[in-house]
Structure 1
């Protein structure tokens, strides 16, 4: 009994000045020294970091249902998955800083995951394992995946935003896709008592999910998420109350998760933002204050938290230099080797949401990503500070993945994955349920996933377009397409598994692929509207690139009347697809939302419905349309066709005509 008191007391008396409270307590190194089908041998080393003990008891839980058997240098018993190893007569005493070792035989079935936490005489130990620098640890987290719109839902339950409850099967399948880490965003607001106490049931649920993930050898990044805009953004005008609440939350979280080993990282908060500030300098200072307080609370909580990797965001998790520089300065000032910086990236905004003519992943859009990752690498990584791209994707995906055309989307993900890898940035795909189906455990867009996965290790060839249009009312002619070889070499063109013949069906001249008129005529068959054939270009490495051979004619729109809440233009797309919409008044000024550009935002201001053959102008479009003034709409299609259409609004009534 005295031994328990001694060790526990050594943890309790830690003061605010003891930045490395882990000096009091214990450390365990657990090693599987041999494994075979159904069995294994484990060696355990227990180092006493506190006062000397006389009589010890080490306990742990099995994360994968293993069972302990015969032991040496310890007596091992097991009840309901909890293992207890106690000293033998000759090794009961462990001096301060001394180590005792024992071993045992065990059995396993589906997995043999190392225990996640140990306790010595009731005190949680620092988890052992391979010693890694922050840079090595961050690299080992590549690639990562976000459990989005689940535990970060602002409603009362993790299903509030339409995703199912997290299951062990989901985490099994996420790992099977090749992900090494999972970011678990958590919004705590709906689960806080007025005094800031976190609801015990919800905290236990988050711990359960974290435990499941760690049991699968996944690295985890846990944070405070939408609290950032729900209440933390009020810090400029409610400084003390926000800071106190934030501090109380992290005090509770640090205590609740201290038992978990180093594969769990903490992220202070998501996408820092403030309302009612005096300007960016104040916002940068407030973000730094919260980051510093988070760092201090976690480090002082001791145990595994004394050296746990902590993730600090820039203001807005932006990669702009004005926000990077203050975080570089703060991290260097904290003089803590176990810190990681984080930024987010959703690409060049006009392309990311498809507005202002940003329909293609062109040189401008690509340069945006190049510059962003260069700044992050040169500012942080080149100075020895690792970086996690905590979220990346396209903002248009918040509505659906069709906002950006398929081929342009694939080029974005191929390049972002490649360049982040080149700059040693760990990436975590944002997935709010629109990518990996959490019930069927399948990718909703397997081609997209193939490009994402390939980018983790290599480059893939792409092309200027993935669409080859042939007008039905015209003879078919040869089509030339520029290939983006991306360091690969072209190896062949296929229709299914049938190789097309070079020289007869296509020619290659450097990066120029030309499909012959004869081949396109054969592939187009009876020339029905839509996709007639799918060709696949294969390269020396990476994922093949698809070309859709499409028969089309210029779409035909019809007159219609409607309201600002529901205005749908009958459209015979005739095989074509809508790319952009321009809206102008007769005097040439811009109509509709985003009045600084003629080109409106895809799916937010307008959207095609190919099934019902309609083109909808959404209510948001009409909020910025003047009564009584004719608006010329110019619909741009991927074939290159353009069609003018005219609308006028009177109150909530809208009339549309072709002339």
Structure 2
């Protein structure tokens, strides 16, 4: 989010339903189980009132296929409204998922996954039978010789286990499938606020933060029942560059950030440390400033300093997995180039990017910098278009050897992807694969009608969101949640506060 002028100087856990399906293969040895020719895993990865998100993973155990079609029937009147990874069609209860041109080849032992969103009423049981290219997949041939009758007492059926209890306070976070989880395996949602100031006050020569960040001020955030605080940072202040006043740079700045992180943790909340303003001169389309220094939002991180910033931050916090890293606030390489392909390649790989005059550090460079320190903290990776576009996030996502990435997304009422249709088409596929965190939500109306819609969509799917911002600004010039650091809300803030209190 861009900032108003300062001074003239300035899932519920995913339910999993699995059906393993097989048909006989000619030539099985006597006494051995038949080799499955296909297996199908059907999963419900999230549900809400009147709807759910599902996926199917098909593994081909027979001869290689060049073109495939999966068939099954819903049992409870479910209706698919959209899908991805296949060409979906439905007639009455019958559903067909046929290959796209890019995934038509399905070799022996290869798998393909497709997802969908569907409506339901009352229940949504898993389909009982599947076919692959017309061959029945739910007939288990079993062994070719009779199975001996077991002797001894009949086993007592076990009751379903209860979901794990969440860890108390700020948890050490990990990633399990598309969920953030704690050490007990319980699903965790990041729900809270941004605490702006650390990105601009130091470089403008006014201090470390905009307003108080003492224990009472942090307690006021916790009183809203927030469980997460996102803390924007400045690259040059952290690294101690001499364009910043000595009293606000280097070790002094790092200590101030560490102090705020410690207070957030002490109140049982998750700190998200995030890189907001960076070095690099950009004067192209949508430039926030012409300054080479970290005095505004740049379109991408720079290769000269940003990897060093994340190396230092990761070394500072890597021994505490309760802390989350957010790589870069709002990339917008799409404003510097005319093609989406160039923008997404720049986003991931960095280097020399069209329209950007400095060497860029891509998201892969930053993930590599963090992991090279030995850090196993969860890392948030934003999209393009000021983090509002995740349409090609999955196709270009950086590789993480730790498997601890989540997607970060921002939305305001004036963004392009600001309606449920866009969220269904671009966010749902991402959230089916990785955890999704809306790092900034807000509106410039001084009300909360828009964020109410955002929060409802995210709540229905068990996803995370953070309101912008816990600062006493004029809500018409920048979404401000409070009028006082004691937690008195603006009319905009009332919407977030009441939702957090209802959830937590």
| 2:249 is the alignment partner of 1:203 | no
| 2:486 is the alignment partner of 1:440 | yes
Corresponding residue number in structure 2 for 1:221: 272
| 2:364 is the alignment partner of 1:314 | no
Of 327, 341, 357, the residue aligned with 1:268 is 327
| 3-state SS, counterpart of residue 341 of structure 2 | helix
The offset of 1:240, in angstroms, is 12
Trace 1:10-29 onto structure 2 (pairs within 5 A): none
Is the 2:194–2:230 contact (alpha carbons within 8 Å) kept by the matching residues of 1?
yes
Larger Rg: 1
Q: Deviations over 1:269-306 (max 9, x none)?
A: 1101247546443332222122111111111101xx1x
The offset of 1:381, in angstroms, is 1.4
Q: 1:209 to 1:194 in 2, by over 3 A?
A: closer
Q: 1:440 to 1:172 in 2, by over 3 A?
A: closer
- Would you tell me which structure has more strand in proportion to its own residues? 1
Trace 1:404-419 onto structure 2 (pairs within 5 A): 409-419=447-457
| 3-state SS, counterpart of residue 439 of structure 2 | strand
For residues 437 and 239 of structure 1, the distance between their equivalents in structure 2, rounded to whole angstroms, comes to 31
Corresponding residue number in structure 2 for 1:166: 213
The offset of 1:312, in angstroms, is 0.4
Is the 2:201–2:210 contact (alpha carbons within 8 Å) kept by the matching residues of 1?
no
Corresponding residue number in structure 2 for 1:386: 435
For residues 380 and 390 of structure 1, the distance between their equivalents in structure 2, rounded to whole angstroms, comes to 15
Trace 1:173-212 onto structure 2 (pairs within 5 A): 173-190=220-237, 192-193=239-240, 199-212=250-263
For residues 449 and 254 of structure 1, the distance between their equivalents in structure 2, rounded to whole angstroms, comes to 32
Is the 1:348–1:369 contact (alpha carbons within 8 Å) kept by the matching residues of 2?
no
Corresponding residue number in structure 2 for 1:421: 459
The offset of 1:196, in angstroms, is 11
Trace 1:233-272 onto structure 2 (pairs within 5 A): 242-259=302-319, 261-272=320-331
| 3-state SS, counterpart of residue 410 of structure 2 | strand
The offset of 1:177, in angstroms, is 0.6
Is the 1:251–1:298 contact (alpha carbons within 8 Å) kept by the matching residues of 2?
yes
Q: 1:157 to 1:381 in 2, by over 3 A?
A: same
For residues 161 and 440 of structure 1, the distance between their equivalents in structure 2, rounded to whole angstroms, comes to 19
Is the 1:231–1:242 contact (alpha carbons within 8 Å) kept by the matching residues of 2?
no
Q: 1:191 to 1:297 in 2, by over 3 A?
A: closer
| 2:345 is the alignment partner of 1:345 | no
Is the 2:172–2:322 contact (alpha carbons within 8 Å) kept by the matching residues of 1?
no
The offset of 1:214, in angstroms, is 1.3
| 3-state SS, counterpart of residue 210 of structure 2 | coil
For residues 282 and 387 of structure 1, the distance between their equivalents in structure 2, rounded to whole angstroms, comes to 24
For residues 388 and 301 of structure 2, the distance between their equivalents in structure 1, rounded to whole angstroms, comes to 29
Q: Deviations over 1:489-523 (max 9, x none)?
A: xxxxxxxxxxxxxxxxxxxxxxxxxxxxxxxxxxx
Trace 1:319-330 onto structure 2 (pairs within 5 A): 319-320=388-389, 323-325=390-392, 327-330=393-396
Corresponding residue number in structure 1 for 2:56: none
| Count of residue pairs brought into register by the alignment | 296
Q: In angstroms, what is the RMSD of aligned CA positions?
A: 4.0
Is the 1:377–1:425 contact (alpha carbons within 8 Å) kept by the matching residues of 2?
no
For residues 495 and 383 of structure 2, the distance between their equivalents in structure 1, rounded to whole angstroms, comes to 29
The offset of 1:253, in angstroms, is 1.2
Corresponding residue number in structure 2 for 1:142: 190
Q: Deviations over 1:253-273 (max 9, x none)?
A: 1112223x2221101111012
The offset of 1:199, in angstroms, is 1.1
The offset of 1:449, in angstroms, is 4.1
Corresponding residue number in structure 1 for 2:496: 452
Relative contact order (alpha carbons < 8 A, sep ≥ 6): 1 or 2 greater?
A: 2
The offset of 1:241, in angstroms, is 10
- Would you tell me which structure has more helix in proportion to its own residues? 1
Is the 1:196–1:245 contact (alpha carbons within 8 Å) kept by the matching residues of 2?
no
For residues 278 and 132 of structure 1, the distance between their equivalents in structure 2, rounded to whole angstroms, comes to 35
Is the 2:218–2:264 contact (alpha carbons within 8 Å) kept by the matching residues of 1?
yes
| 3-state SS, counterpart of residue 185 of structure 1 | strand
The offset of 1:154, in angstroms, is 5.3
TM-score (norm 2): 0.51
Q: 1:293 to 1:131 in 2, by over 3 A?
A: closer
| 3-state SS, counterpart of residue 170 of structure 1 | helix
